[in-house]
Amino acid sequence: MSAAVILGAQWGDEGKGKITDLLSEKADVVVRYQGGNNAGHTIVIGDQKFALSLIPSGVLYPTVTPVIGNGVVVDPRWFFEEKATLTKRGVDPSKVKISNNAHLIMPYHRKLDAVIERYLGSAMIGTTKRGIGPAYTDKFARVGIRVQDLFDEKIFMEKLTTSLKLKNKILMKVYNQLPLDIDEIADEYLGYADDLAPHVTDTSLLVYDAVRAGDNVLFEGGQGTLLDIDHGTYPFVTSSNPTAGGAPVGIGIGPTMIDRVIGVAKAYISRVGTGPFPTELHDEIGDKLIDIGGEYGVVTGRRRRCGWLDMVALRYSVRVNGLTDIALTKLDILSHFDTIKVATAYTAEGDRYTEFPRQQGVLYHCVPEYEELPGWNVDISGVTSYDDLPPNARSYIEYIEDHAGVPITTVSVGPGRRATLHR
Ligand code: GDP
Ligand code: IMO
Ligand code: MG
């Protein structure tokens, strides 16, 4: 049995796509368990670059069955667009399986996402405006529409009528918007049924059987630990559980079937959208990390906020996910710095914190305590073995490992498949 979760250990964009792609070479099934097309996972193969959003990163291997689990929210319009883009580029997405129980992102979810953000003003989350939050809201309010409903027109229309009536009232009376037309939505969505049918299955059973048969199964998280609805910097989070506990729920298997949890962490840290960020750099070092690191969002093109590695946050991630090991990415970006800082604790209002503060508000006032480590100032993007890294680069990795308390088993030194060191 081999089932591993690959998840973001920080605020997303850690390089989960690259690490999932690497491990997919030996995988049979790759499953997304939460989120939706708010994710932007980049995979670089030679001179080709793929940006995957909803479809699992394993799709690039013909030997892999990519699965969209029940915990994902599916925008069918986006699914077909992503499928068409992949097909045009010579990738075959016909094997993608989608859970019958996954919830659908509807046009009113996208619309609400945009108007709610506008309404929040300075308190906005900075969402991707893909309708993720409103779709999960409906799921938990028990007024969501599931993938399987597309195959029962009567039920679909009943659910749509109930949901849209209220949504239109909210859109018109609260947000001063035009109402959405039920026939237009029904035509569009019921029109997807035939093309979606070959993809839809009981993915819980599919994954269960695969794990039981001894297949190599990967569970690919979207977003990251600090964006988790329960364990992240609420309310500046996404509306799902990217943490490891979200995997069994979002797939429909038991936690005992998972034997490895890999946390992907950048050698520094970034965040898109609003919310507290203790090690954020507002100076030229921050700008340098953004520029050299190419830190611009895959989904929205937004400039990411960047800062030094935060060990308080990384140790938190080890704890709430039960990480077995870490894949450290973008180490090559730090080659351009004479000294590298790592936050080991915070202080706020006279108190010292070595763990994430219990009271969210404190995080805004936290001043990081930094340890300074020497840089290596030499290009490492062509290095192919761990022992060939400069001693200061190895010391940096070993420092993180010691303080995180779990091994760093993979080190990434460039976006491509070959720029990876295994330990
Ligand atoms: P994800 O959402 O976690 O899959 O990450 P993104 O794709 O949003 O952002 C990671 C970015 O870093 C992408 O542009 C990757 O191609 C790139 N990347 C991943 N690993 C490395 C690395 O080790 N070095 C460099 N320079 N780029 C990397
Ligand atoms: P990947 O999988 C980074 C952020 C948004 C916003 C918050 C809520 O590529 O790492 P949402 O649209 O989910 O309701 O937005 O979460 N966010 C991400 N940030 N990487 C992502 O995905 C993200 N997906 C959502 O910027 O702050
Ligand atoms: Mg991303």
Model confidence pLDDT, tens digit, residues 380-406: 999 999 999 999 999 999 999 999 999
Looking from the CA of residue 51, the nearest atom of ligand 1 is: 7
Buried b (16+ CB within 10 A) or exposed e, 342-379: bbbbbebeeeebeebbeeeebbeebebbbeebebbeee
Q: What pLDDT digit, counting tens, does each position of 219-274 carry? A: 999 999 999 999 999 999 999 999 999 999 999 999 999 999 999 999 999 999 89
Confidence of residue 1 (pLDDT cuts 50, 70, 90): low
The pLDDT of residue 297 is above 80: yes
Residue with structure tokens 């001179």? Answer: 47
For position 146, what pLDDT does the model report? 98
Q: Is the CB of 295 under 6 A from ligand 1?
A: no
For position 182, what pLDDT does the model report? 98
Return the ligand number nearest the Cα of 270: 2
The pLDDT of residue 128 is above 60: yes
Instruction: List residues with catalytic annotation.
Output: 13, 41
**What is the pTM (predicted TM-score) of this model?**
0.97
SS3 state of residue 26: coil
For position 2, what pLDDT does the model report? 84
- Phi and psi angles of residue 163, each rounded to the nearest 5 degrees, phi first: -70, -45
Pocket test of ligand 1: the residue of 52, 270, 329, 422 to mutate, having most ligand atoms within 8 Å of its CB, is 329
- SS3 letters for 87-111? HHCCCCCCCCEEECCCEECCHHHHH
Backbone angle region of 82, left / alpha / beta, with phi > 0 → left and psi within -120 to 50 → alpha: alpha
Q: Which of 261, 304, 253, 267 is nearest to 397 (CA)?
A: 267
Q: Is the CB of 246 under 6 A from ligand 1?
A: no
Mean predicted lDDT score pLDDT of the chain? 97
- Six-digit token string for 120: 């929040």
Ligand 1 centroid distance, CA of 243 (Å): 19
Q: Is the CB of 415 under 6 A from ligand 1?
A: yes
Ligand 2 centroid distance, CA of 196 (Å): 26
For position 56, what pLDDT does the model report? 97
* E-strand stretches of 283-335: 305-307, 309-310, 325-329
